Chain A
């Protein structure tokens, strides 16, 4: 079982301290491609939460059978197989949801967040903790991508929740700025995503620094993970 403190640490690490996008700077490739609006960002994150929870659970349960030397190929095998099975099951049984989330699931296979968490957490911890770690890493990604997507579409096109009608046909995007708002293309293209993500990272560091000054002590350094895209 898991103590309350342990749960709090895992949740805090996922949502803020080791936030995948802002602290670990992982998975930038799907991040840049997908966050042209908030809805896409949220959808990718939901798919990621699901995949990370399942793969962390599987790897953590099997961790005692995996020789250390070949752990990476085995992790990749497990993650890729599970993602494909999830993809097939979604396609067959939840087709409506698949049409919305489906295009994001193959994107996740290439996402190094999944492998990074499997290697850094699930391979060393019990199944329950690992599952929660996967979920909360995904939740951290969820709010980051939602915020980044919302900023990009607001600056770029003056709307909010564009594409929501693809998820819920009865809802419509909100036009926040007047129709006459000239599109700001930079925000919609990948360089705009880099610039805004940079601003968000700066904001997080500023918040952390302020909190550190207030607490009159240095915050613990985030655990460094293997760098990839």
Chain B
């Protein structure tokens, strides 16, 4: 830094800029290298992650196709609370449609959106629901997430399993406080209410679009 005196102001500026440029080149190179080197492994584990989530809502024994590759792209669907397009996965066994797995969003959680993944069977029955993302109060409303639920034997969210509009009338898809049949834990009703509403909407939507969702493979969409 003692050599700074030998430079004119312009020369000094150019020298500083050049130094900064060299650092940028080196570290951008480092970043690109690391990105390219780790990309295959990261993509593989991302696919595995997705399958883990699907496994929670739909047992693998129920289908035999490569579910992650049999997809439908959903446009932004207000009925599901989706403001962006998302991917729907179709499960089949021996070529016959079994169930669909898709995203839904409860827009009215206590602290913003609660994101869900829902699996609905061909007969309109809920195969499973899981919360994937939420900002609900820790220790209060977050029991909609299985991991945070203190009831490990029968987590709250599993109540929806096996429910269908044919068995349970639409007006019963409410928390008990609102006159429905869904349990909730005292002290936090806003979150379960929002999730219940979103699950009902998802089931109704699957019912309304069943011809398209459960089309045989190769059929025009």
Contacts and interface: CB of A to CB of B under 8 A. Distances in A.
Interface residues of A, number: 31
B211 interface: no
B19 interface: yes
Most B CB contacts (10 A, CB to CB) among A65, A92, A165 go to A92
A interface majority secondary structure: helix
Most B CB contacts (10 A, CB to CB) among A65, A69, A157 go to A69
B1 A89 contact: no
A211 interface: no
Contacts of A85: 30-31, 34
B74 interface: no
Nearest to A183: B139
Contacts of B41: 91-93, 95
Interface string A78-115: 10010011001101110100000000000000000000
A183 B148 CA distance: 15
B16 A166 contact: no
Interface in B19-68: 19-20, 23-24, 27-28, 30-31, 34-35, 37-38, 41-42, 45
B184 to A, nearest CB: 15
Contacts of A93: 38, 41
B139 A166 contact: no
B161 interface: no
Interface residues of B, number: 24
Nearest to B27: A81
B42 A92 contact: yes
Contact of A74 (B20, B37, B147): B20
A75 to B, nearest CB: 10
B20 A73 contact: yes
Nearest to B46: A91
Given A91-B38, A93-B41, A68 B1 contact: yes
A174 interface: no
Contacts of B19: 65-67, 70, 74
Contacts of B28: 81
A157 B37 CA distance: 44
B45 A84 contact: no
Given A92-B41, A188-B137, A183 B31 contact: no
Contacts of A41: none
Contacts of A162: 139
Interface string A142-154: 0000000000010
A105 B181 CA distance: 42
A16 B1 CA distance: 35
B106 to A, nearest CB: 22
A78 B138 contact: no
Nearest to B22: A65
A36 to B, nearest CB: 5
Contacts of A91: 38, 41-42, 45
B182 interface: no
Contact of B35 (A69, A70, A88): A88
A176 to B, nearest CB: 14
Given A88-B38, A89-B38, A91-B45, A165 B23 contact: no
Given A36-B138, A88-B34, A88-B35, A70 B16 contact: yes
Interface in A154-186: 156-157, 162, 165-166, 183, 185
A85 B30 CA distance: 8
A70 B28 CA distance: 17
Interface in B113-155: 137-140, 147
6 contacts: A74-B23, A77-B27, A78-B23, A92-B38, A92-B42, A188-B139
Interface of B: 1, 15-16, 19-20, 23-24, 27-28, 30-31, 34-35, 37-38, 41-42, 45, 137-140, 147, 187
Closest 9 CB pairs of A and B: A92-B38, A92-B41, A81-B27, A157-B139, A85-B34, A88-B38, A95-B45, A36-B138, A88-B34
